[in-house]
Amino acid sequence: MKIILGPTSKELGEKTAELTGLETVQVAHKTFPDGEAYVRLEGNVQGDHVMIVQTTSPPQDSRLMQLAFIADAAKRNGARKVTAVVPYLAYARQDKIFLQGEGISIETIARMLKTAGIDALVTVNVHQENVLTRFTFPAKSLSAIPLLAEHFVKKGFKKAFALAPDKGAMYIVEQAKKGLGGECGHLEKQRDRYTGQVSVAKKAFNVKGATVVIFDDIISTGGTIVGAAKILKELGAARVFAACVHPLLIGDAEKRVLDAGVEEIVGTDSVPSHVSKVSLAPLLSRELRALKSG
């Protein structure tokens, strides 16, 4: 088994290789003047099961193409099996038809990846687990929430209240609660399907004077966390933190979140950024070790 270091997750791939003792394969890559992507494997993959570690956070489309081209190159160069390890899986939020006339983007992506030569997929905190049924090959989602909770415990926030901005993220705070050992709960969020505008409804939690960590899978525009943080402040929370697996932080999202009273944003290196204080490497290496021995 070898790890192919996708250009978007090179550091994470290297850290994972260190923890697993797996050999790595570098990828030479460039963008042609007209914008087309080029990749070339700089190692031998003949007869190997290879893991391509490549996140597909923005710019999603070019990163997905890179992933597909690497998979194709691996298969053409004799790889026995290709597993894509894609921490942030782009297009997972368009997993069904919400409005008439739409398509199911993630199903198109799944077909594209299969055609490129990918035999299995491992992702992290995919938006909805049922997205994985759109893949016609084995696809699995790991959870980084225990790692995020552990980070807050290490910072001295054991017993912090874990808050989900909506019911869909309740599974996340239930996992966080196991690590933090405090209480958990969820707010009610509505998103306008046409404008994307988020509104979060107030709920009566007893968080007066408490430290609260808002957990979510993604922070994109920050609207969800801003809505939740404002409510927590009204309810008298003393300290508010935001934790997410995929810190996309589009535009001025970070500023908006901090301006809403959040003390700190903690994300993972699923989407490398300065808030990526938790590495997915231990999680991925556990999975890869299991695949190796299985």
Nearest-approach distance from CB 256 to ligand R5P, in angstroms: 9
Active site residue 189: yes
Residues 4-43, one symbol each (x = binds ligand R5P by CB under 6 A, - = not), give ----------------------------------------
217 binds ligand R5P (CB under 6 A): yes
Q: Which of 9, 56, 211, 221 binds ligand R5P (CB under 6 A)?
A: 221
Q: Which two tokens stand for residue 229?
A: 């943080």
The single-letter code of the amino acid at 105 is: S
Q: Hey, what long-range contacts does 203-208 have (CB within 8 A, 24 or more apart)?
A: 203/231, 204/235, 205/161, 205/163, 205/235, 207/161, 207/163, 207/232, 207/235, 207/236, 207/237, 208/235, 208/236, 208/237
Which of 66, 224 has the CB closer to ligand R5P?
Answer: 224
Choose the catalytic residue: 2, 15, 75, 189: 189
Q: Which residue has the tokens 């609207």?
A: 223
Q: Which of 220, 270, 279, 285 binds ligand R5P (CB under 6 A)?
A: 220
Residues 165-184 binding ligand R5P (CB under 6 A) are 165, 168-169
Q: Which of 95, 107, 216, 254 binds ligand R5P (CB under 6 A)?
A: 216
Contact segment (CB under 6 A) with ligand R5P among 66-74, 80-88, 220-228, 278-286 equals 220-228
Asked if residue 59 has a cis previous peptide bond (ω within 30° of 0), the answer is yes
Total residues binding ligand R5P (CB under 6 A): 13
Alpha helices by DSSP H, the chain: 10-20, 60-76, 105-116, 145-154, 170-180, 223-234, 253-259, 281-293
**249 in Cβ contact with 282 (< 8 Å):** no
Which of 169, 213 has the CB closer to ligand R5P?
Answer: 169
109 binds ligand R5P (CB under 6 A): no
What contacts 108, CB < 8 A, 6 or more positions away?
A: 91
Q: Which of 92, 116, 147, 218 binds ligand R5P (CB under 6 A)?
A: 218
Residues 47-86 binding ligand R5P (CB under 6 A) are none
Q: What distance in Å separates the CA atoms of residue 149 and residue 173, rounded to the nearest whole number?
A: 9
Nearest-approach distance from CB 219 to ligand R5P, in angstroms: 5
Mutual angle of helices 10-20 and 281-293, in 10-degree steps: 50
Which strand (E) or helix (H) includes residue 34?
Answer: none
Residues 125-164, one symbol each (x = binds ligand R5P by CB under 6 A, - = not), give ----------------------------------------
Question: Shortest CA distance to 277 belongs to which of 239, 251, 228, 244?
Answer: 244
Catalytic residues: 189
Would you tell me which residues interact with ligand R5P (CB under 6 A)?
Answer: 165, 168-169, 198, 216-224
